[in-house]
A and B are shown apart, each in its own frame.
Chain A
Amino acid sequence: MVIGHPENGDLAAVGIAVPVPQTALPAPDQPGDGTPEPLATTSDAAAGRPPGRGPRGASAEEVPAGGPFGLVAGWWPVAFSSEISTSPRGVPLGSGQIVVYRDEDRVARALTDRCPHRRVPLSMGTVTSAGLRCGYHGWVFDGASGRCTVIPDLGPQIPPDRIRVAAHPVVEKGGFVFVWSGSGAPGPFAPPLPLAGWDCARPKRWVARGVVEARAPHTELAHALVVNPGAALGLGWLLGGGDEMLGPHVVVDGAGVVARRSRLTWSLPRRRTYDPVSKRTTAATVAMTAATGMTVAVAETPAGREVAWVVIGLTPVGAYRTRVRWRVETRGVGGRLVAAICCLTAAGRLSAGRGTAHKLETAADASCGGWDPAVEALRELRAGLPVNPAPRR
């Protein structure tokens, strides 16, 4: 399905104002408390929504979240592969907390971060040959099944089978560690968005990466990234961060959305109604999975050659906080130049004491008021996701 393409003549889809018919205004003698009903907006009319029902409300109500983490069922990125070691690490995910570690065979494992004995976080424990050992009383849990294998004072006696902690399926792909958030059997791991030409199994030379925690809900941050990832991540020079010039060309498949657009490279202040100083444009394709917001943004040269892949993983941390992991991958000769600039800008940003959280938060706030066909498509896809049932206790 292709929506919102300017060539289709869908002017409202690209944000051009459509006159609102006068009949949409409430009658002066309308019964009620005297407060007029909200007016129909351009985006409401274009999207076919009831008047006054903003996009923010729609997304908050219709996501079929649930399961052990209050999230839709899916593979959620919780860490970079290099972040996980034999030292257990507590990771918040949605409304829950998990402990992620590598066992003695270097296999990544994820358990609920709570010892069922006295509730101490298992992330305070240590990895042994028998599993993850709680630091308080020494109960040991197998990373694959979650079953308790050792209670120290029982000696060689095997603990009852009912003593176990929830074990969550884990896969490692493309430099990320993904954890399954459903309460049932895990679904197959689909490489995020093969549409964008990013193959997580194909190694590339990564050049830069970072973790940013933004005070913004997951869905709004995802919307900001699908609309303008360059501005949100401070990578405008690579992906384009200014006004939208061409597009968006939005393709929707069963799992996600791919949007291609061309933007002004630099978001520079503009004097009144004059043209911007720099008119350079940059094209980029952004592909995002609807369920988890896993994103690949592909930067292109003016000649249309792909030069860099920006892979972005979003980890919801509570209701209003999201951890963003991004890494820039390049290949080829041009990639070396991109690599050098990425390293320089990242180092410069760090040395100046500036992170990118404020850019992400500003972009997330701005995404609440706008309208974009890619965002609408994401909302519809999320609303159609199956309900994630709560786990049995």
Chain B
Amino acid sequence: MTITGTATERPDARTTVSPESSPASGQTDFRPGTFALRDAWFPVVHTRLMGRRPVLRPIHGQPIYLWRENGTLKASEDSPEDRERGRYRTSEFTAGTGFYPTGERYGYAWVWYGDPAAASLDLIPRLPHLPVDGGLPRHFLSNVVFDCGYELVCDNLLDLSHADLLHSWQQRVAGSEITVSSTSETVTMARFARGRPVAKASSRKLHADRQDFRMVTLVHVRSGVCVLYGSYEPGMSVRMLHPANPESANRTRTPITFDLQQVSPLVRHLSPLSGHLIGRQDNWALSAQNQRYFPTADGSGGPDLNSRFDIAGLRYRKVYQDLVARQRLGDYSYLPDGDPGRDVTAEIEGS
């Protein structure tokens, strides 16, 4: 059996652009799917959904089989059956052992994609609103697959102006205060709307006609882990983890965790189903958008034009391209301001 993949054919070497090329532009040089950012933890699967039977969850096209063996999480480049048959794929991502560094936190199996020597559990993103040891019920979990690169999914989560058309039942952006901040690894967008009208169905229960609304989206650019935190005052709060795992340049898996607070049990049970409703609407646009970001032979396409409502998306592109530029030069380290394990509670809650 021939096993492809050599040191010179790493997934993160897919791009043909030389490192000495001109500085990247967020409008013209944003090429999702052409570079695989590495040295990051990816929450590849809900641990509640794992058992003895192996599941395949690729990251950037690299095979990752996960299963439990005597209660211990295993992640390897080959399935247990293939290993029994004597097939051992080894790449630089497993340092010749065939097994990836793994960790279990927040109800997810995390796999390190990068140099195993650099894997540290401290680099798993801090998720302040999920229990560290997991344990959330099955109906809080959802798996949505998008037909596009993970960069576009992250861009979509930071993009508010599409909601009026695609998700027209959601509230309008107009009248919101939007602030965007970033580090070398994350982009955070906070949106605050004061006194927005309450839906008729909720107003009787809340005893209010208007409510304040605050929604924060924090994106870890390297891994695609997105933390969504929304709070309605008075009303519910929404705590979501929305990973965007890049399985390939055309496919992103999002094992989502929903945690709605201060709502009826029925809403708590049904809310994860909305992932597929909203995801289907987004995928309608994202799948058509994806191929148009791939480089063309004649370089055609032209730049993206923007309005002032695209600040968060442009900041994401800037951070992404800076990371790509660094990794092309062989620098996979985290800068001091970009520690994924830092406490982001204040950043998310706005206190």
Contacts and interface: CB of A to CB of B under 8 A. Distances in A.
A153 interface: yes
Interface string B161-192: 11011100000011000000000000000000
Interface string A106-130: 0000000010111111001000000
Interface stretch (B61-69, B81-89, B102-110, B301-309): B301-309
Given A114-B292, A136-B285, A119 B165 contact: no
Contacts of A121: 288
Given A138-B164, A153-B173, A153-B309, A120 B288 contact: yes
Q: How large is the interface on B (under 10, 10 to 19, 20 to 34, 35 or more residues)?
A: 20 to 34
B293 interface: yes
B289 interface: yes
Contact of B174 (A116, A119, A153): A153
A163 interface: yes
A153 B161 contact: yes
Contacts of A163: 305
Interface residues of A, number: 22
A320 to B, nearest CB: 15
A151 interface: yes
Contact of B305 (A117, A124, A135, A138): A117
A136 B304 CA distance: 14
Interface in B301-341: 301-307, 309
Most chain B CB atoms below 10 A, which of A118, A152, A153, A393: A118
Interface in A228-283: none
A-side interface mostly: loop
A60 to B, nearest CB: 18
Given A152-B164, A153-B173, A153-B174, A136 B289 contact: yes
Given A136-B166, A155-B174, A119 B161 contact: no
Interface string A133-156: 001111000000000000111110
Contact of B162 (A116, A119, A136, A151): A136
B165 A136 contact: yes
A181 to B, nearest CB: 15
A324 to B, nearest CB: 26
B165 A137 contact: yes
Interface in B28-78: none
Interface of B is mostly: loop
B305 A393 contact: no
A391 to B, nearest CB: 10
B334 to A, nearest CB: 30
Nearest to A139: B307
B267 to A, nearest CB: 29
A346 to B, nearest CB: 34
Given A137-B161, A152-B164, A163-B305, A119 B285 contact: no
Nearest to A164: B305
Interface in B127-185: 159, 161-162, 164-166, 173-174
Given A114-B292, A136-B285, A137-B162, A119 B304 contact: yes
Nearest to A148: B305
Contacts of A135: 165-166, 284-285
Contacts of B298: 95
A159 to B, nearest CB: 8
Interface string A89-108: 00000010000000000000
Nearest to B282: A136
A133 to B, nearest CB: 8
Contacts of B164: 138, 152-153
B304 A120 contact: no
Interface of B: 159, 161-162, 164-166, 173-174, 284-285, 288-289, 292-293, 298, 301-307, 309
Which 3 A-B pairs give the minimum distances between C-beta atoms?
A: A119-B292, A136-B285, A116-B305
Given A124-B288, A151-B307, A153-B307, 8 more contacts: A95-B298, A116-B302, A117-B305, A120-B288, A136-B165, A138-B162, A152-B165, A153-B174
7 contacts: A117-B306, A118-B289, A119-B289, A135-B165, A136-B289, A153-B309, A163-B305
Interface of A: 95, 114, 116-121, 124, 135-138, 151-155, 159, 162-163, 393
